[in-house]
A = this chain, B = another copy of it.
Amino acid sequence: MNKQTLINCYQQIKPFVHRTPVLTSHLINDIVGADLFFKCENFQKMGAFKMRGATNAIIQLNKEQKSKGVVTHSSGNFAQALSLAAKSLGIKAYIVMPNSAPQVKVDAVIGYGGVVTHCESTLEARENAASQISQKSGATFIHPSNDLDVIIGNSTACLELLEDVADLDYIFTPVGGGGLIAGTALAAHYFGKNCKVIGGEPFEADDAYRSLISGKIETNKTANTIADGLRTQLGDINFPIIQKHVERIIRVQEHEIIDAMRLIYERLKIVIEPSSAVALAAVLKEKEQFKNKKIGVILSGGNIDLSKLPF
């Protein structure tokens, strides 16, 4: 993989994704003491950056693979992303969803044309169900975050951001499964001008923070965070990229996530999901370190149950 791989990916997925806007707020800049540029993936198709990775993963399949479809297990944004990307590209998507998944998410997947299979809520049950579907149908399994083509697809949000604001000193992303920050770090490496990538991660699910310290993939015993998209684990494909290209990870408390989320609703006037707020919470947490810098912040998505807002 090299710079050209990312450029090729961007050209290929372009017709199927939105180029999302970059927003700014004088007031948030004043609070931080730096210039912040928010890349609004909440405005992406189906409401999250995951559309980019899902689209690229499907495009990179060969003709025979495409004819047999794709399969994943997810109760979150990747289920919707893979369903919609598959629909856009005219192939079949099988989605394994735990019985515990909210009906609204199941309906969204079905709305995008995904074929849903329900299973128990354990990771083992999900993996078994996906594996069975794959064996039976020949569908290719696509992991939501630990897949190189997904990571490269995700990199295009940062690529666009650097096209709009070329001289960013830092880019912050939330860290969950690691697919967004790994892609962002690749794009910052190839297209930034000494642009450092920093992750924001909840204390309640800080596997990536601990993994960077120990040098091996650590797990979360619990993941009791409002940032529901970040309850997942790093994988063996994205972790080496993160080790090589991510500057560091800043952990944040739950109340800091909620405060950052509220600031974005009140000042940017946009709807984001809690996971998206973790990146700004990380900037705010150590704002003294970033005085007068130019900082990109990737807002990962906007899919939230509005009846469960924390304010």
A266 interface hit (Cβ, 8 Å): yes
Task: Give the distance to chain B from A199, nearest Cβ to Cβ, in Å.
Answer: 23
A47 interface hit (Cβ, 8 Å): yes
Q: Residue-by-residue, is A299-311 near B (CB-CB < 8 Å gives 1, otherwise 0)?
A: 0001000110101
Q: Considering only CB atoms, which chain B residue lies closest to A26 in the complex?
A: B45
Contact of A271 among B21, B43, B270 (CB under 8 A): B270
A221 interface hit (Cβ, 8 Å): no
Chain B residue contacts of A262, Cβ below 8 A: 306
Whether the Cβ atoms of A269 and B306 lie closer than 8 Å is no
Whether the Cβ atoms of A269 and B269 lie closer than 8 Å is no
A190 interface hit (Cβ, 8 Å): no
Whether the Cβ atoms of A269 and B309 lie closer than 8 Å is no
The 8 closest A-B pairs by CB, nearest first: A269-B302, A269-B271, A42-B269, A306-B311, A265-B271, A270-B270, A307-B311, A265-B306
Chain B residue contacts of A269, Cβ below 8 A: 42-43, 47, 270-272, 302
How many residues on A have C-beta within 8 angstroms of the other chain's C-beta atoms?
A: 17
Measured in the bound complex, the distance between the Cα atoms of B304 and A311 in whole Å is 12
Task: Give the distance to chain B from A102, nearest Cβ to Cβ, in Å.
Answer: 14
Q: Residue-by-residue, is A34-69 near B (CB-CB < 8 Å gives 1, otherwise 0)?
A: 000000001100010000000000000000000000
Chain B residue contacts of A307, Cβ below 8 A: 311
Q: Residue-by-residue, is A144-186 near B (CB-CB < 8 Å gives 1, otherwise 0)?
A: 0000000000000000000000000000000000000000000
Whether the Cβ atoms of B309 and A306 lie closer than 8 Å is yes
Interface positions of A from 263 to 277, Cβ below 8 Å from B: 265-266, 269-272
Chain B residue contacts of A43, Cβ below 8 A: 23, 269
Chain B residue contacts of A271, Cβ below 8 A: 265-266, 269-271
Chain B residue contacts of A265, Cβ below 8 A: 271, 306
**CB-defined A-B contacts under 8 Å, sample of 13:** A21-B21, A42-B269, A43-B269, A262-B306, A265-B271, A266-B306, A269-B270, A270-B271, A271-B271, A306-B309, A306-B311, A307-B311, A309-B309
Task: Give the distance to chain B from A88, nearest Cβ to Cβ, in Å.
Answer: 12
Chain B residue contacts of A47, Cβ below 8 A: 269
Q: Considering only CB atoms, which chain B residue lies closest to A42 in the complex?
A: B269
Given A266-B271, A269-B270, A306-B309, 13 more contacts at CB 8 Å?
A21-B21, A42-B269, A43-B269, A262-B306, A265-B271, A265-B306, A266-B306, A269-B271, A269-B272, A269-B302, A270-B270, A306-B311, A309-B309
Q: Considering only CB atoms, which chain B residue lies closest to A111 in the complex?
A: B27
Chain B residue contacts of A272, Cβ below 8 A: 269
Measured in the bound complex, the distance between the Cα atoms of B43 and A23 in whole Å is 10
Q: Considering only CB atoms, which chain B residue lies closest to A23 in the complex?
A: B43
Chain B residue contacts of A266, Cβ below 8 A: 271, 306
Measured in the bound complex, the distance between the Cα atoms of B265 and A4 in whole Å is 38
Measured in the bound complex, the distance between the Cα atoms of B25 and A302 in whole Å is 14
Measured in the bound complex, the distance between the Cα atoms of B43 and A21 in whole Å is 13
